[in-house]
Structure 1
Amino acid sequence: MAFTDLLDRVINGLSAFREAVSTPAKASLREAVGVTVDNDEDQWRRLTGDVDRDLSPMTQKRMRDMALYLWEANLLANRLIELPVAYLLAEGVRLTVTDEENQKVLDRFWKDPINEMDLKLPQKVRELALYGEQCYPTFVNEMNGHVRLGYLDPALIETVVTDPDNRSQVIGIVTVKDKKGVARRYRTIINGPEEVFSARTREIRQTFSDGEAFYFTINDLSNGRRGRSDLLAQIDWLDGYEQFLFGELDRASFMRAFLWDVTLTGATPEEVAKRSKEIYPPAPGSVRVHNDAEIWAAVTPSLNALDSSENARLFRNHVLGGATVPEHWYGGGGDVNRATGESMGEPTFKVLSMRQRVIKHILESIGRYVLRQKAMAHQEAEPDFSEDAWNVEAVFPEMTARDTTKYAAALQQIVTAVGLALDRALLTETTAMALINAIAGRLGVEIDVEAELKAARKKAAKTAEDDVFKDPPDDSADSP
């Protein structure tokens, strides 16, 4: 019975298998779908959602490489970087504070053999213009708070982390991994307590445990994280201008070339071929004698090219105009005289003044950090930078010598005019001092109107009091 049951199960299984094979299976239908991926997919941004205003990593790298190459090899690009550096720093910069002890701390930092700010500051400003960003890790002596600055190449910055509650505030820097696969995490410096951040942001900043660092950018946006080079917009035009000049160099070489054209009158092809084997170019200063059947002529190429100086000026001014640099600053005098030259330079000095304010902020931020570290090392309270003893100021000299003659003449006229107005009670003393201060400011002298009026009134009262109590003149010696 067992064998019969087993045989029945095998037969039933074979029948089921045969039925399944003979019956066509129902195919499931699926709609074909796909996604097209471009080669530059990572360089596109979404139209909605979190918008990233930074350049792509590859574009950021290429910007740095091209800017550095042009600064080294392109004369015009070099001047666009070096001229602002010279105007801003040629006469030197210094950090000042009214408190003598704090001034000694700043001087020690400035003249430190590692910091050497007089020597390294032009490098920092130059690289800020070339790369659009700078990162300075700090090294602090825990005993006395002395600060030394390091340097992190922008090419080693992998990620710039911003505050999740405030996209414009950078809170940390992550570097690329080294050969051991380790990336450093620097906490960006703010001159204030950590409590200025939210609790969530403070937790994130605690993960940046490899030290503190300054991070500064230029040509950036509030919703961006990386800076941009001053040469970014001009890179292609600078390269094109240089290629144009090299083309003109080749053209000039071709224009100087010439050949001898020899005409044989009435000669047969055989005679021409024979003569061509006998002829040779004459040496300079030699004499050649021939009859009227042979004519020699030096032929130079006529390329029918227009004067290229206007084209060169057009390209050059396009680049200079983009950098707000007048033409005569790069050897293109044109029809410029002294009056027009001074007026043409005013927009440039406005741009340079804006950059000077950026450098001023950077140096003053570093100076405040130096004083904070000194205070923390001595277990002092958090410095109040609104007080004069802690108020660090970066002092820059004048970028250019001013023509003070017209301001001096204007000051004399203003003083005379306000004096007459005061005598006739047409003007208050405060307004009169404000007018004088407006002209004095052009001469580099700022007047505190209220303090100056108070001091002037005090001096006038003292003079009047002295005149009242002065002994009258003794006329007895003059009497007969």
Structure 2
Amino acid sequence: MNIHKQASPGFWTRFREAFALGGSKTAESAAETSAPVREAVGASVDADEDQWRRLSGDGQRDLAPMTQDRMQRLAHYQWETNLLANRLIELPVAYLLAEGVKLVVQDDDAQKILQRHWDDGINAWDLKLPKRVRELGLFGEQCFPVFRDENSGFVRLGYLDPAVIATVVTDPENREQPIGIVTKANRKGEARRYRVIVNVPESAFDARTQEIRATFTDGECFYYRVNDLSSATRGRSDLLAQVDWLDAYDQYLFGELDRASFLRAFMWDVTLKGANEAEVKEKARSITAPKSGSVRVHNDNEEWNTQSPSLQSADAAAGARLFRNHIMGGATLPEHWYGGAENVNRSTGDSMSEPTEKMLKMRQQTVGYMLIDIGRYVLRSAWDALGRELKPEEADILATLTCPWPEMTSKDITKYASALQQITVAIAGLIAEQLITRETALRLVTAMADRLGVEIDVEEELAKALAEDAAGGGGDLLGIKLRTTPPPSAPAPAPAPADA
């Protein structure tokens, strides 16, 4: 906020009079001086105030705008031209999306709305989702302008190149929450201002933030970023830390290619015994290099030998592996994912892949959140088009919206199956000795079932098992007979005869 202060005209009049009189005061000036002095204070708010920052800094963790642009250009160039950089981006995309993904909601009508949005020819999620996930990792951010049919509430998504984003405006009271996108000016000097969609009511923001959001009048958009900090406004590329090393790795391999060419080079060295300088020069003018398969005849005064360079270079494979592992280690990818199978067997390969799978799971959660966030907006938009408030049952439907992911890798389930059998036998004995409850026992089974990719709601599953047991006249759960009613008590002993 700019604060402008201006001294009153009376002050400057008295100042000039005092200066002209050498500091003496007349009666009029004395009377004038006794009048109260008030300063005019004004405040103004610029239309682009949200794009300014203090010179002293305010804890930002962003790259400079030119550096941000350069990062995106270099990341794109390396992805196109560097095989290793391409794999660093493409492998996560393949592991996340090779089996496909869908949005699922537990309501038939809502599912039809989502499916119509998903299969729309412009949205084309099955085709465009890999591109969007790829560019999310490549550029560190993605922005999708929204085009909404006001009559039907149908939603289509556009695409805004991160290269044209000038500023990401955040909530003044909550810096980690983006509220608007300002683009760079086009050739006509026009910049667009998009309001970031947040799936909360506008009343969730304070009055000042709502005023700022009201200035973004060119449409709405979704904005997502990765590799950022809470105090940053822009995302970072997955290749930011590796880009220099990727370039060095390329230069190293091209250098080895040149060295291999030099090693294959050779020349003929001809020795003339007893020849003087004139004879050597004459021979040099007439000599020609023999062709492959030709015949060369000479006496014992002429000797022909081949000479090739001896560069005495270090082992190129060890150097290449050093560079490659340094780059891939920074990206949490094992070397055997890029053809480096030295000293790697199945056991070590599985253990080396586990950190990578954890990193992929984190990215999977981010992409899943993006899809669910967009899906919620699609459903809300369709319901809002009907001109009614969100009903409680519709809010419950939104809570069931999920993004189920298929398994990224095929796991060896034999050890999990064996462990599950052992756990089942062990907890059956505990239940028989009344040392553990059935609910706790089922939680132990669920913990192992998660390893097999099976999700079990313990309370719901236990209730269903008890109901099935009651309907079927009894059954077994974990090897123990289920009882829906307490066992009958033993009959009381008959009273002794009165004359006993």
The TM-score normalised by the length of structure 2 is 0.82
Give the one of 185, 191, 210 matched to 2:199. 191
Task: Give the distance between the partners of 1:332 and 1:374, measured in 2 at CA.
Answer: 51
- Determine if the alignment matches structure 1 residue 308 to structure 2 residue 326: no
Give 1:159's aligned amino acid: T
Please list, as runs of the form range in 1=range in 2, the aligned pairs for 1:20-169 lying within 5 A after superposition.
49-169=57-177
Does the C-alpha gap of structure 1 residues 347 and 47 become closer, same or farther in structure 2, counting only changes over 3 Å? Answer: farther
Q: Secondary structure at the match of 1:205?
A: helix
2:376, 2:398 within 8 Å by CA — same for their partners in 1?
no
Please list, as runs of the form range in 1=range in 2, the aligned pairs for 1:319-398 lying within 5 A after superposition.
319-382=327-390, 387-388=396-397, 391-398=400-407
Question: How far has the Cα of 1:463 moved from its partner?
Answer: 3.7
Give 2:414's aligned amino acid: T
Question: How far has the Cα of 1:390 moved from its partner?
Answer: 5.0
Question: How far has the Cα of 1:307 moved from its partner?
Answer: 1.7
Please list, as runs of the form range in 1=range in 2, the aligned pairs for 1:274-293 lying within 5 A after superposition.
274-293=282-301
Question: How far has the Cα of 1:460 moved from its partner?
Answer: 2.8
Task: Give the distance between the partners of 2:55 and 2:246, measured in 1 at CA.
Answer: 32
Q: Secondary structure at the match of 2:146?
A: strand
1:160, 1:170 within 8 Å by CA — same for their partners in 2?
yes
Does the C-alpha gap of structure 1 residues 383 and 246 become closer, same or farther in structure 2, counting only changes over 3 Å? Answer: farther
Please list, as runs of the form range in 1=range in 2, the aligned pairs for 1:238-249 lying within 5 A after superposition.
238-249=246-257
Instruction: Number of aligned residue pairs: give it.
Output: 424
Give the one of 245, 268, 271 matched to 1:260. 268
1:371, 1:390 within 8 Å by CA — same for their partners in 2?
no
1:174, 1:186 within 8 Å by CA — same for their partners in 2?
yes
Give the one of 420, 423, 426 matched to 2:435. 426
Question: How far has the Cα of 1:396 moved from its partner?
Answer: 1.6
Give 2:436's aligned amino acid: L
For residues 168-206 of structure 1, the C-alpha deviation after alignment (integer angstroms, 9 at most, x for no partner) is 111111111122222111110011210000011111111
Question: How far has the Cα of 1:438 moved from its partner?
Answer: 0.8
Question: How far has the Cα of 1:210 moved from its partner?
Answer: 0.9
Instruction: Tell me what 1:445 maps to.
Output: 454
Question: How far has the Cα of 1:423 moved from its partner?
Answer: 1.4
Of stretches 423-432 and 209-218 in structure 1, the one that deviates more from structure 2 is: 423-432
1:132, 1:227 within 8 Å by CA — same for their partners in 2?
yes
Task: Give the distance between the partners of 2:242 and 2:418, measured in 1 at CA.
Answer: 43
Q: Secondary structure at the match of 2:103?
A: strand
For residues 274-303 of structure 1, the C-alpha deviation after alignment (integer angstroms, 9 at most, x for no partner) is 221222111111121212221111111111
Give 1:156's aligned amino acid: V
Task: Give the distance between the partners of 2:385 and 2:399, measured in 1 at CA.
Answer: 16
Does the C-alpha gap of structure 1 residues 383 and 175 become closer, same or farther in structure 2, counting only changes over 3 Å? Answer: farther
Does the C-alpha gap of structure 1 residues 375 and 388 become closer, same or farther in structure 2, counting only changes over 3 Å? Answer: closer
Task: Give the distance between the partners of 2:456 and 2:406, measured in 1 at CA.
Answer: 19
Task: Give the distance between the partners of 2:132 and 2:219, measured in 1 at CA.
Answer: 21
Q: Secondary structure at the match of 1:214?
A: strand
Instruction: Tell me what 1:411 maps to.
Output: 420
Task: Give the distance between the partners of 1:119 and 1:456, measured in 2 at CA.
Answer: 43
- Determine if the alignment matches structure 1 residue 399 to structure 2 residue 438: no
Question: How far has the Cα of 1:48 moved from its partner?
Answer: 6.0
Give 1:371's aligned amino acid: L
Give 1:341's aligned amino acid: G
Q: Secondary structure at the match of 1:96?
A: coil
1:415, 1:436 within 8 Å by CA — same for their partners in 2?
yes
Of stretches 400-409 and 449-458 in structure 1, the one that deviates more from structure 2 is: 449-458
Task: Give the distance between the partners of 2:304 and 2:79, measured in 1 at CA.
Answer: 50
Gaps of 5+ in 2: 1-52, 476-480, 484-500
Q: Secondary structure at the match of 2:403?
A: strand
Task: Give the distance between the partners of 1:264 and 1:167, measured in 2 at CA.
Answer: 84
For residues 301-347 of structure 1, the C-alpha deviation after alignment (integer angstroms, 9 at most, x for no partner) is 11111221100000011111111111011111111111111111111
Question: How far has the Cα of 1:371 moved from its partner?
Answer: 0.6
Does the C-alpha gap of structure 1 residues 230 and 111 become closer, same or farther in structure 2, counting only changes over 3 Å? Answer: same
Give 1:395's aligned amino acid: P
Q: Secondary structure at the match of 1:168?
A: strand
Q: Secondary structure at the match of 1:260?
A: strand
Of stretches 51-60 and 260-269 in structure 1, the one that deviates more from structure 2 is: 260-269
1:102, 1:390 within 8 Å by CA — same for their partners in 2?
no
Give 1:397's aligned amino acid: P
Task: Give the distance between the partners of 1:411 and 1:388, measured in 2 at CA.
Answer: 34
Question: How far has the Cα of 1:133 moved from its partner?
Answer: 0.6
Of stretches 458-467 and 155-164 in structure 1, the one that deviates more from structure 2 is: 458-467
Does the C-alpha gap of structure 1 residues 267 and 226 become closer, same or farther in structure 2, counting only changes over 3 Å? Answer: same
Q: Percent identity?
A: 59
Q: Secondary structure at the match of 1:412?
A: helix
Does the C-alpha gap of structure 1 residues 46 and 301 become closer, same or farther in structure 2, counting only changes over 3 Å? Answer: farther
Does the C-alpha gap of structure 1 residues 73 and 463 become closer, same or farther in structure 2, counting only changes over 3 Å? Answer: same
Task: Give the distance between the partners of 1:390 and 1:451, measured in 2 at CA.
Answer: 18
Task: Give the distance between the partners of 2:209 and 2:269, measured in 1 at CA.
Answer: 84
Instruction: Tell me what 1:33 maps to.
Output: none
Which gives a bigger RCO, structure 1 or 2 (Cα 8 Å, sep 6+)?
1
1:375, 1:383 within 8 Å by CA — same for their partners in 2?
no
Question: How far has the Cα of 1:386 moved from its partner?
Answer: 5.8
Of stretches 450-459 and 256-265 in structure 1, the one that deviates more from structure 2 is: 450-459
1:220, 1:226 within 8 Å by CA — same for their partners in 2?
yes
- Alignment RMSD (CA, Å): 1.9
Give 2:368's aligned amino acid: K
Question: How far has the Cα of 1:214 moved from its partner?
Answer: 0.4
Question: How far has the Cα of 1:266 moved from its partner?
Answer: 2.2
Does the C-alpha gap of structure 1 residues 389 and 222 become closer, same or farther in structure 2, counting only changes over 3 Å? Answer: closer
Question: How far has the Cα of 1:456 moved from its partner?
Answer: 2.2
Give the one of 454, 461, 464 matched to 2:463. 454
Give 1:460's aligned amino acid: D
Q: Secondary structure at the match of 1:262?
A: strand
Question: How far has the Cα of 1:389 moved from its partner?
Answer: 5.5
Does the C-alpha gap of structure 1 residues 230 and 206 become closer, same or farther in structure 2, counting only changes over 3 Å? Answer: same
2:72, 2:139 within 8 Å by CA — same for their partners in 1?
yes
